[in-house]
Amino acid sequence: MNQRLKYIVASRVDGLGGRLLNLASTFRVAKKLGLEHLVCWNYPSVPQKAIYSKLFEGLSFIKLDYFDNKGLKVYNLTRKHNQKIGRKEFTVTNNIIENFDVVVTDHLGLLGLEADRGRITTKVLGQNKGFRRELREAINRVKPNSYIRKEVQDFLKKNDLKKCVGVHVRRGDVERNVKRGVDLHKFRQVQQFFDCLDEIRPERIFLCTEGETVRREFIEKYGAENVLFYPARSYIRECPITRLEGSDEEVEESLNDAFIDNLLLSECSKILHVYSNFTEAAALRGGQDLIKVD
């Protein structure tokens, strides 16, 4: 194979879970092809998106126009471009490797020579153990900032999450979108989480949620002594691409809290599976199997 490709770029701009999965995927492909990995999250049109870069240490962030006027041929393997041309796959094929200098992706990406293609979220993570193992190795290379690491360490010193079942009840962006006609059942009602937990009968629960009402419901059902949670300082926890009215400081604080939640969730013995990249990223990092919430 005559490899021309030089860079692979992560460009996903939605929530933290999706970005973490996108990072892990691009790290993995970069390692396999011996490429330099870059991150392209600094969108000048929405300054708060750049705050994501403060979550990490050791990553190289670039601006959207980084490759302009450099004579490099760029291949956009992104959702927007895929939809435009009717392409469903997110694969880095031999043709891309041989004929382009840069590939930009905003999704989980596979090498075209691999067997599994198409929809590559829970389906592939569950079916392809080798792929999952490589992604886990990659996502654990993503180093949180020193503040996040200390908060996680301090929480774990006081709480043994290995005895907990982790639960992520997605609410921030969901509750807002329900008003626009999104079916909340797609993201599961609280009672469905309760039904699943009552079957498992966990010793304790670690709860991640943007919903203050959800937290109260869990405490009322299981007792304050049995429901652990990281004391988030704010509830601007939904995707900043659609929630931008907070100050830069509030958004940064919120994203730090969300990453802490995600890292703590990855320390639990089991994690309930729900429609959420956030949950998948945590399970991938911790190596847990996901329990499906029906």
What integer pLDDT is reported at residue 117 of this predicted model?
46
Contact 209, 168 (CB under 8 A): yes
What integer pLDDT is reported at residue 132 of this predicted model?
84
Mean pLDDT, the chain, as a whole number? 82
Q: How confident is the model at residue 188 (pLDDT cuts 50, 70, 90)?
A: low
Q: How confident is the model at residue 118 (pLDDT cuts 50, 70, 90)?
A: very low
What integer pLDDT is reported at residue 120 of this predicted model?
47
SS3 label, residue 9: strand
Judged by average pLDDT, the poorest of 1-10, 151-160, 176-185 is 176-185
Query: What is the Cα–Cα distance from 28 to 73, expressed in whole angstroms?
Result: 22
Higher confidence at residue 6 or residue 186? 6
What integer pLDDT is reported at residue 246 of this predicted model?
64
Mean pLDDT of 41-50: 53
Q: Give per-residue pLDDT as tens, 62-79.
A: 887 888 889 999 998 888
Q: Quote the pTM value.
A: 0.87
Query: What is the Cα–Cα distance from 14 to 105, expressed in whole angstroms?
Result: 13
Higher confidence at residue 117 or residue 92? 92
Higher confidence at residue 173 or residue 150? 150
Burial of 118 (0-12, 13-18, 19+ CB in 10 A): exposed
Q: With 80 as the cut, is the pLDDT of residue 58 above it?
A: yes
List 208's β-bridge partners, or say none.
168
Per-residue CA distances from 219 to 182, 234, 268, 274 (Å): 27, 19, 18, 20
What integer pLDDT is reported at residue 119 of this predicted model?
45
Burial of 235 (0-12, 13-18, 19+ CB in 10 A): middle
Q: How confident is the model at residue 27 (pLDDT cuts 50, 70, 90)?
A: very high
Query: What is the Cα–Cα distance from 55 to 217, expressed in whole angstroms?
Result: 30
Query: What is the Cα–Cα distance from 247 to 269, expressed in whole angstroms?
Result: 36
Q: How confident is the model at residue 245 (pLDDT cuts 50, 70, 90)?
A: low
What integer pLDDT is reported at residue 125 of this predicted model?
59
Contact 121, 108 (CB under 8 A): yes
Contact 174, 276 (CB under 8 A): no
Task: Assign 3-state DSSP to the chain and report helix, strand, coil percentages, each to 5.
Answer: 45, 15, 35
Query: What is the Cα–Cα distance from 222 to 220, expressed in whole angstroms?
Result: 6
Q: Give per-residue pLDDT as tens, 123-171.
A: 555 567 788 888 899 999 999 999 999 999 999 999 999 999 999 987 6
Enclosing H/E stretch for 152 = helix 146-158
Higher confidence at residue 7 or residue 87? 7
Range 146-292 classified under CATH 3.40.50.11350:
yes
Instruction: List, by residue range, all CATH 3.40.50.11350 domains of the chain.
Output: 146-292
Query: What is the Cα–Cα distance from 169 to 208, expressed in whole angstroms?
Result: 6
Q: With 80 as the cut, is the pLDDT of residue 256 above it?
A: yes
Q: How confident is the model at residue 47 (pLDDT cuts 50, 70, 90)?
A: very low
Q: How confident is the model at residue 185 (pLDDT cuts 50, 70, 90)?
A: low
What integer pLDDT is reported at residue 273 of this predicted model?
78
What integer pLDDT is reported at residue 229 of this predicted model?
93
